[in-house]
Amino acid sequence: MSSDSANAEGSLDALLSEERRFAPSAAFRARAVLSDAGVYALATADREAYWAGWASELHWFSRWREVLKWKPPFAQWFAGGKLNVSYNCLDRHVQEGHANRVALFWEGEPGDTRTYTYGELLAEVCRFANGLKGLGVKKGDRVTIYLPMIPEVVVAMLACTRIGAIHSVVFGGFSPESLSDRNNDAAAKVLVTADGGWRRGTVVPLKANADEALAKSPTIEHVVVVSRGGSLSEQVGVSLRPGRDHWYHDLIATASDVCPAESMDAEDTLFILYTSGTTGKPKGVMHTTGGYLTQVYATTKSVFDLHDDDVYWCTADVGWITGHSYVVYGPLSNRAQVVIYEGGPDWPDRGRLWQICERYGVTVFYTAPTAIRSFMRWGEEWPEKSDLSKLRLLGTVGEPINPEAWIWYHETIGARRCPIVDTWWQTETGGIMITPLPGITETKPGTATLPFPGIDIAILNEKGEPTSAGYLAITSPWPSMLRGVWGDEERYRKTYWSQWKDVYFAGDGAKRDEDGYYWILGRVDDVLNVAGHRIGTMEVESALVDHPAVAESAVVGKKHDIKGEALAAFVTLKEKHAGSDALMKELREHVGKKIGAIAKPDLIVFTADLPKTRSGKIMRRLLRDIAEGRAVGDTTTLADPAVVRKLQTQYQED
Ligand code: PRX
């Protein structure tokens, strides 16, 4: 295991002595979707029957023949079953008499608002699905979606699922180069973007970025551009290339609002989502239809304890898996009333999220620990200005939550009344895997507690033997598991299934306490978690060495109060180049341009040499120690121990 987890272990001992326990109140339990702990035994007794029970709550055009076919490492869930995701998220609710129920409460950063009922959303999705068909999009084609958090992003995703096109949503903060890489890897045919979006009072020029990417995206035949509207569209002039580019509003103006939902096989690919791994190239994680929808439906309903009167808000961007599963598919398949907000949490002031909670009467709120740490730093006066009395359940995801932040969330936002669900899962798992059930589980700050019923988790050592502190493993297939890496079966096998036989390697370290609760220690591979986002060190290193002045670089994680982890880059320059503040700035910008602003290193240290083993491997553990100002550990395997001493003195001087 890397020293990341070893470091985390020191603080873990403190965590494990955590005495505070929070049991669900009698009132919460009385109304909870799940309140009987017997559900765990029930699921264990017949896992397949348990999942089939959840699947039966969805609408199937025809039922599956078999719940699970498992030929490691390939699983098929609900084989032979036919269904459509957009039908499950829209049509069936409308048919059941809920056409006028609010599906989306949307608020733009400047304060403009729009509301869509389930009936309106269905009509809009059908129009856009017909528009896509008109551009020649067929079942199985790939569509890239590069949009801000506006209702059209939900429309575009659902329209793809309606006609069986595979969407690949690219986070709006990614650079043109990241966008073209993803377009090309997926061989996408259509790109859906917008003139721009708002972020902290400034315009993110999405179409301009897309134009840059399009110059290097030969497979894209058509581009659909949403006009964000308001003053943004007046400010941002975009050029549309005739024949290739189309305004969204023109495309749907003449399109019919009736579009039959394609009958999809349970195992047809639903979407690809790129995520960072241990190489320089992000991987296209593939999810399919029936199993994915079953698990996100089941977990949304039971982890967020959804009732008809809830107003649900998950603050994630749809560019990440959390946005896919818990802004769009989980909530809409549950007929939830979903809040979506476009912009920054501190715009125009630090009370923005709480004002939104008050305005829409948010009852269930799901966010990331990094955001909670920012709220803590901003102070209680901001949430105190708003009426948060409707909140009844809080959630977190994306990284381990420190008990201090957990308690603050519980007391200041939840007024000691709201259970907190700390949910562990990944892009690859598709849905929540380890989590409290809010009407059943006694929580402890800092642990995601227990596997969701029907999920088999273990902690194993390198050899695959059970232990109470080691690598987190998933020992049975689960419905929303990834089905592969787009175009790279070998990488799928190697990354997830080569550590042990037929057991999934999650890439996280974990420990189990005397209650059987799981404490996640963080990544054990070369993947960092910066503000809840996954960034591969190799990706940032490749971006740095792409700069003409850089000879070599090593990127490591450095503890950060708000982001959890920040990036520290050690850079050796080519001859005739000297380190300077200006070059530092230039390198940060270069990484921003290659990947996106989230990957810009916080710290850049210029060094004549990098510490390497005799076999030439960079010793990242030492660099991490230096970046965090710790005494440097064992250097006996170093080729030249003097390098570390030099680096340490230099870093202290910096
Ligand atoms: O290290 C774990 C951390 O986030 C990683 C997954 O990142 P990503 O695929 O981007 O998905 C994030 C949203 C699901 C995991 O390998 N992680 C996620 N949730 C938690 C967590 N670490 C600790 N506690 C969590 N609740």
The pLDDT of 484-506, averaged and rounded, is 97
Strand order across the beta sheet in which 142-146 lies: 245-247, 222-226, 190-194, 142-146, 166-169, 269-275, 283-288, 484-485
Q: Is the pLDDT of residue 391 over 80?
A: yes
- Count of beta carbons in the 10 Å neighbourhood of residue 586: 12
Kindly state whether residues 490 and 564 are assigned to the same domain: no
Ligand 1 pocket, mutate which of 318, 426, 433, 472 (most atoms under 8 A from CB): 426
Q: Which of 64-68, 292-296, 647-651 has the lowest mean pLDDT?
A: 647-651
Kindly state whether residues 476 and 613 are assigned to the same domain: no
Kindly state whether residues 248 and 371 are assigned to the same domain: yes
Cα 281 to averaged position of ligand 1 atoms, centre (Å): 20
Question: What pLDDT score does 620 carry?
Answer: 86
Q: Kindly report, residue by residue over 434-464, the tens digit of the pLDDT.
A: 999 999 999 999 999 999 999 999 999 999 9
Kindly state whether residues 317 and 440 are assigned to the same domain: yes
Tell me the HSE value of 544 on the side-chain side, using a 13 A CA sphere: 31
Question: What pLDDT score does 652 carry?
Answer: 63
- Count of beta carbons in the 10 Å neighbourhood of residue 358: 18
pTM for this prediction: 0.93
The pLDDT of 362-388, averaged and rounded, is 97
The pLDDT of 205-224, averaged and rounded, is 97
CB 116 within 8 A of CB 96: no
CB 491 within 8 A of CB 485: yes
Reading phi first (left if > 0) and then psi (alpha if -120 to 50, else beta), residue 559 is in beta
Task: Concatenate the DSSP letters of all residues of 258-313 into one string.
Answer: --PPP-EETTSEEEEEEE--SSSS-EEEEEESHHHHHHHHHHHHHHTT--TT-EEE
Q: Does the residue 522 lie in any domain? A: no
- With a CB cutoff of 8 Å and minimum separation 6, the contacts of 440 are 24, 29, 32, 34, 35, 36, 37, 39
Question: What pLDDT score does 19 carry?
Answer: 76
- With a CB cutoff of 8 Å and minimum separation 6, the contacts of 41 are none
d(CA 186, CA 265): 21
Q: Kindly report, residue by residue over 595-616, the tens digit of the pLDDT.
A: 999 999 999 999 988 988 888 8
Kindly state whether residues 267 and 217 are assigned to the same domain: yes
Q: How far is CA 265 from CA 79, 307, 331, in A?
A: 8, 30, 22
- Count of beta carbons in the 10 Å neighbourhood of residue 190: 25
Cα 400 to averaged position of ligand 1 atoms, centre (Å): 8
The pLDDT of 474-486, averaged and rounded, is 98
Task: Concatenate the DSSP letters of all residues of 403-440 into one string.
Answer: HHHHHHIIIIITTTTS-EEEEB--TTT-S--B---TTT
Cα 529 to averaged position of ligand 1 atoms, centre (Å): 8
The pLDDT of 225-254, averaged and rounded, is 93
**Nearest Cα residue to atom 24 of ligand 1:** 400
Q: Does the residue 227 lie in any domain? A: yes
Backbone phi, psi, residue 561, to 5°: -60, -40
Q: Does the residue 525 lie in any domain? A: no
Backbone phi, psi, residue 17, to 5°: -90, 5
Kindly state whether residues 499 and 544 are assigned to the same domain: no
Kindly state whether residues 164 and 61 are assigned to the same domain: yes
Q: Kindly report, residue by residue over 111-130, the tens digit of the pLDDT.
A: 999 999 999 999 999 999 99
Ligand 1 pocket, mutate which of 508, 526, 535, 563 (most atoms under 8 A from CB): 508
Kindly state whether residues 360 and 494 are assigned to the same domain: yes
Q: Is the pLDDT of residue 1 over 70?
A: no
Q: Which residues pair with 380 in a beta bridge?
A: none
CB 482 within 8 A of CB 286: yes
Q: Is the pLDDT of residue 650 over 90?
A: no
CB 182 within 8 A of CB 170: yes
Q: How confident is the model at residue 233 (pLDDT cuts 50, 70, 90)?
A: confident
Question: What pLDDT score does 15 carry?
Answer: 61
Q: Are strands 420-423 and 166-169 parallel, antiparallel or unpaired?
A: unpaired
Kindly state whether residues 378 and 277 are assigned to the same domain: yes
Q: Does the residue 367 lie in any domain? A: yes
Kindly state whether residues 443 and 573 are assigned to the same domain: no
Q: How confident is the model at residue 4 (pLDDT cuts 50, 70, 90)?
A: very low
Q: Does the residue 520 lie in any domain? A: no
Q: Is 538 exposed, middle or buried (0-12, 13-18, 19+ CB in 10 A)?
A: middle
Indicate the average pLDDT of the chain: 94
Q: How confident is the model at residue 12 (pLDDT cuts 50, 70, 90)?
A: low
Ligand 1 pocket, mutate which of 5, 534, 535, 598 (most atoms under 8 A from CB): 534
**Nearest Cα residue to atom 26 of ligand 1:** 424
Q: What percent of the chain has pLDDT over 70?
A: 96
d(CA 122, CA 19): 49
Pick the atom of ligand 1 nearest to 396's CA.
26
Residue whose token pair is 């987190």: 472
Cα 46 to averaged position of ligand 1 atoms, centre (Å): 28
Number of domains within the chain: 2
Q: Is the pLDDT of residue 66 over 90?
A: yes
Q: How far is CA 481 from CA 213, 284, 464, 637, in A?
A: 31, 14, 20, 39
d(CA 137, CA 153): 17
**Nearest Cα residue to atom 4 of ligand 1:** 398
Q: How far is CA 386 from CA 354, 362, 373, 450, in A?
A: 6, 12, 19, 33
Give the range of the structural domain holding residue 585, as residue numbers without chain letter. Answer: 531-653
**Nearest Cα residue to atom 25 of ligand 1:** 424
d(CA 505, CA 513): 20
Instruction: Give the domain CATH number at 47.
Output: 3.40.50.12780
Q: Kindly report, residue by residue over 290-318, the tens digit of the pLDDT.
A: 999 999 999 999 999 999 999 999 999 99
Question: What pLDDT score does 640 carry?
Answer: 77
Q: Is the pLDDT of residue 507 over 50?
A: yes
Cα 328 to averaged position of ligand 1 atoms, centre (Å): 19
Q: Does the residue 574 lie in any domain? A: yes
Residue whose token pair is 């030929």: 71
Kindly state whether residues 495 and 535 are assigned to the same domain: no
Q: Are strands 364-367 and 393-397 parallel, antiparallel or unpaired?
A: parallel
Instruction: Give the domain CATH number at 614.
Output: 3.30.300.30
Q: Which of 59-68, 237-246, 641-650 has the lowest mean pLDDT?
A: 641-650
Cα 425 to averaged position of ligand 1 atoms, centre (Å): 5
CA 212 to chain centre: 25
Pocket-forming residues, ligand 1, beta carbon under 6 Å: 275, 321-322, 397-400, 422-427, 448, 506-508, 520, 522-523, 529, 534
Cα 249 to averaged position of ligand 1 atoms, centre (Å): 37
Question: What pLDDT score does 653 carry?
Answer: 56
Highest mean pLDDT among 16-25, 94-103, 275-284: 94-103
Element holding 52 (H helix, E strand)? helix 47-55
Question: What pLDDT score does 615 carry?
Answer: 82
Kindly state whether residues 501 and 610 are assigned to the same domain: no
CB 524 within 8 A of CB 509: yes
Q: Does the residue 565 lie in any domain? A: yes
Task: Concatenate the DSSP letters of all residues of 522-559 into one string.
Answer: EESSSEEEETTEEEEHHHHHHHHHTSTTEEEEEEEEEE
Q: How confident is the model at residue 618 (pLDDT cuts 50, 70, 90)?
A: confident
Q: Write down which residue in 458, 478, 509 finishes a domain.
A: 509
Q: Does the residue 524 lie in any domain? A: no
